[in-house]
Amino acid sequence: MSSRKLDEARQHTLESAVRDAHVLVTTGAGGVGKTTTAAALGVAAARQGRRALVLTIDPARRLAQAMGIDELTDLPSRVELETPAEGELWAMMLDMQTTFDRLIDRHATSAKNARDIKSNRIYRTLSSTLSGTQEYMAMERLHELHDAGEWDVLVVDTPPTRSALDFLDAPTRMTSFLEGRLLRLLLKPGVLAGRGVGRMVGAGATAFIRVAGRVTGMELLQDLADFFRDFEGMYEGFKERADQVLALLRDPDSRFVVVTSPEPPPLREARFFLERLEQEGLHAAGVVVNRVQPEVPRDPSASSLNRAVEGLSQSDDAADQAAAGTLRLLADIRNLASRQRRDVGSSLYGLGIPALVDVPLLGGDVHDLDGLDTIAWTLTTGRER
């Protein structure tokens, strides 16, 4: 992105996305203020008269802390804003197991089939440990909330960027697992009847399963056979749901907010994700650069400032020494602000970004609704409050 295009992007804010989008997905590297940004977007939407729900899949519970509340559950909770708004703000935290159980209920061939699957020890293990399950369940919960039709805007707070990429990959990964060779082998009639597992997975694997069964007390062979037998017939339902979720994310009313700080590593993550969005045909709402050092007016000039520091430093007077230290600090702040803007410009070079919002470095962490209001104002106006 050229300097001119970068300046143009800074002329736009997230106001239109907050006003018009139905789904806003925030993503970014760890520690860049992504959760706080998600909460602030929810506050901004409520200020615009919308019924907003913020969903976090981050198990660290930072969203509750940012909103100044004790705890979030899998059910939406109303957040009372300190200053009344025309809209409403709600928040919730993903319960992966509960969401997976509901998915089984929806696609099972019968109520008994659903009960059998949910009580199976293999299912309980896979549902909590299979790679990408958390992200897949987050997308499933998002679609449930979308189908409910109760919310004007759904703000989704994701884990750090690499996991957020898993968020995009989750439907394909889950259906790839369900289409996998091992699963297809295990769904063959002989295995579904509990026979022939040894021939299919090999003597070594069978020996391992038997030893594991003796050590843990689990009848793993039977559990595997029962699980895959009960799961048969549900694949198409899972695949159809995954396609629906991807369609929702590709809809123009669904937009991604990429959050970063002005340091090179998170900026590289931001660029990587923006490029991935473009490849996938997904829509970026813009980039939020958090904790940006505000620029200091260029008066005095750098050269005159350096001369003043040099002259004062040679003095034995304590007041002159203190003044020299203050001027050095001013120079350091100027240099930091300039370097941050250069890093942002070089990292985002060549990318088309609808909006670029700098959120200035604050005096402390945001942990209450008043702080979220301050950030919400910046996100939608581009100005400090």
Cβ count near 247 (within 10 Å):
11
Q: Return the structure tokens found at 292.
A: 């940006």
Residue 311: other Cβ atoms inside 10 A: 12
DSSP characters over 110-150: SHHHHHHHHH-HHHHHHHHHSTTHHHHHHHHHHHHHHHHT-
Domains of the chain: which residue ranges?
3-170+252-297+336-381
- CA distances (Å), origin 242, targets 7, 175, 267: 38, 8, 30
Q: What is the pLDDT of residue 153?
A: 98
Going by C-alpha positions, the residue among 340, 363, 349, 222 that lies closest to residue 289 is 340
To which H or E segment does residue 238 belong?
A: helix 235-250
Nearest to 239 by CA among 183, 279, 164: 183
Question: pLDDT per position in the chain (385 positions), as tens?
Answer: 456 777 788 889 999 999 999 999 999 888 898 889 999 999 999 999 999 999 987 666 777 777 777 778 889 999 988 888 899 999 998 888 888 899 889 888 889 989 988 988 878 887 777 666 777 788 889 999 999 999 999 999 887 655 556 667 776 666 666 555 545 554 454 444 444 444 444 444 445 445 545 545 446 666 777 777 777 777 777 778 878 888 999 999 999 999 999 999 999 999 999 998 998 889 999 999 999 987 766 556 555 556 555 655 666 666 655 666 666 666 667 777 888 888 999 999 888 899 999 999 876 777 788 889 999 999 999 988 7
Helix (H, G, I), strand (E, B) or coil at 163: helix
**AA letter at 90:** W
Q: Which superfamily is assigned to 3-170+252-297+336-381 in CATH?
A: P-loop containing nucleotide triphosphate hydrolases (3.40.50.300)
Residue tagged 């929702």 (tokens): 248
Give the dihedral sign, CA 207/209/212/218. Answer: negative
Residue 141 and residue 167 in contact, taking contact as beta carbons nearer than 8 Å:
no
Transcribe 264-309 into DSSP letters: HHHHHHHHHHHHHHHHHT--EEEEEEEEEPPPPP--S-HHHHHHHH
Using CB atoms within 10 Å of the CB of residue 203, give its burial: 0 to 12 exposed, 13 to 18 middle, 19+ buried: exposed
